[in-house]
Structure 1
Amino acid sequence: MRGWWQELTDLVLPADCAGCGRPGGTLCDRCGGVLRRSGPRRVEPSPVPPGLPVVHAAAEYADEVRAVLLAHKERGVLRLAGPLGEALAGAVRTVCSRAGRPLPGRPVRARPARGPEGPLLLVPVPSARRAVGARGHDPARRIALAAAGALRAEGCAVRVPSVLRQRRRIRDQSGLGARQRRMNVSGALGVVPGGGRLLSTGPAVLVDDLMTTGASLAEAARAVSAADGLVVGAAVLAAPPDCTNRN
């Protein structure tokens, strides 16, 4: 109910920019440009959790980008899903390019890498049910769907299978260190019944809005791999400044 009401409110009420607070729209041109300014970059937390796939982030988690992500995630400014999805799509393109896997549906010159050759699978890292209930939406899944829409508009074959679920309750990650986060999520994710069949249809890119320690992405990669899915990388909207940027 909260999600439906929030979407209606977004359409009716005037909005200030979620990034800088200036009037004139949900996201001004300047703040939208910040999301796309540097282009996707490879990022690594320190320490790197075991099993973490190669991660590319669309932007740095600071200032306007941080405000925009929090507005979408915590305040339910759902109209931000479109521009956030476009930024995430850029990170997905980079993941596939660096992994030697041209996006399905696009003409290619090089022979694709071995493995499943079906549609690209954007697999969201799931939020806890209680968090989804409190927020009224699942931020990672919403932006994954928006990213898939942007990629399909270019002729790419993309699906967003919600195949991961939490198998047990985990603590709120806020305030936990890297080692505590790894212990908190270790073994916490699993694939839903029938999810393995979906994962066998194409290569998978894990997606999330934010990477901090990388613990959740590493656990998601473990769960997908345990179900015989092929993880070719991970794409996130943002990573903190202290995550190493690598080209």
Structure 2
Amino acid sequence: MQGVWRELAGLVLPVDCAGCGRPRTELCAECRRALSRGGRGARRVRPEPRPAGLPRVWAGAPYADEVRAVLLAHKERGALRLAGPLGAVLAGAVRVLRPGGGRVLLVPVPSARRSVACRGHDPVRRIALAAAAELRRAGVGEGAGAQVLAVLRQRRPVADQAGLSARQRLANVAGALGVRGGAGRLLVEAPVVLVDDLMTTGATLAEAARALGVSGARVSGAAVVAATRTAFEINRN
């Protein structure tokens, strides 16, 4: 219900742009264009050091400026309608990852139950659903189309990743994810693309890929809305 009330409040109450703070607009035209450019400029990225098992990762934009502000507004402040433009950026990364189209399964990295309860929504799943809708509109995966399968779950609690080093993050999430019972048969029906809102060290994506691999999934790669500037710069060199 928290999410419903936030959406209703956004229809009647003045808000500031999530990207630049311009008053009385949830996302101004300038920031919307910045996100749109991100969706068209998706690039393969990699963290340094690269964790073992990390699949190929494409990101729609660097995690900075308007993109960072919009992601945080959606995730932490419940600006739910921003899922649409963020989903378009994620869809752009998926299109670059799988340029041939065809059916694709988008598997979001799961949020902790306590985080979902505190926020009132699951931000990555919401963005993934928006991305799948955008891919279907663009004709990617005709027939069955792009589909979201939220089949990953946390098998044990993990600590907040903020402030942890790359090595500590790897230890924190090692063995923490699993696939829901009975979902394995769905994962072998089409190529799988892992999706998340942000990649920093790649530890969580590597753990998610491991869990999916155990279930027999064919993981084509991972797509994220944004990645750190460092990951973008490393790939450029």
Which TM bucket (shorter chain)? over 0.9
Residue 123 of structure 1: aligned partner: 107
State the alpha-carbon separation in 2 of the partners of residues 47 and 151 from structure 1.
32
TM superposition shift of 1:240: 1.1
Alignment of 1:14-29 (within 5 A): 14-29=14-29
Select between 68-77 and 36-45 the one with higher mean Cα deviation: 36-45
Residue 174 of structure 2: aligned partner: 186
2:197 match: secondary structure? strand
Residue 60 of structure 1: aligned partner: 62
State the alpha-carbon separation in 2 of the partners of residues 169 and 49 from structure 1.
21
Would you say the 8 A contact 2:62–2:232 is kept in 1? Answer: no
Residue 113 of structure 1: aligned partner: none
Residue 151 of structure 1: aligned partner: 135
TM superposition shift of 1:88: 0.6
State the alpha-carbon separation in 2 of the partners of residues 128 and 226 from structure 1.
21
State the alpha-carbon separation in 1 of the partners of residues 59 and 34 from structure 2.
13
TM superposition shift of 1:165: 0.1
Deviations along 1:51-89, one digit per CA (max 9) or x if unpaired, are 001111101101111111000000000010010011110
Residue 133 (str. 1) matches residue 117 (str. 2): yes
The count of aligned residue pairs is 229
Would you say the 8 A contact 2:108–2:194 is kept in 1? Answer: yes
Corresponding residue to 2:49 among 12, 22, 47? 47
State the alpha-carbon separation in 1 of the partners of residues 198 and 223 from structure 2.
9
State the alpha-carbon separation in 1 of the partners of residues 35 and 138 from structure 2.
20
Residue 110 of structure 1: aligned partner: none
| Runs of 4+ residues over 4 Å off in structure 1 | none
Unaligned runs of 5+ in 1: 105-118
How large is the RMSD of aligned CA atoms in angstroms? 1.2
State the alpha-carbon separation in 2 of the partners of residues 22 and 51 from structure 1.
42
State the alpha-carbon separation in 2 of the partners of residues 10 and 55 from structure 1.
34
Identity percentage over the alignment? 63
TM superposition shift of 1:14: 2.6
TM superposition shift of 1:11: 2.3
Residue 163 (str. 1) matches residue 165 (str. 2): no
Q: Tell me which amino acid in the other structure corresponds to 2:101.
A: L
State the alpha-carbon separation in 2 of the partners of residues 62 and 186 from structure 1.
28
TM superposition shift of 1:200: 1.0
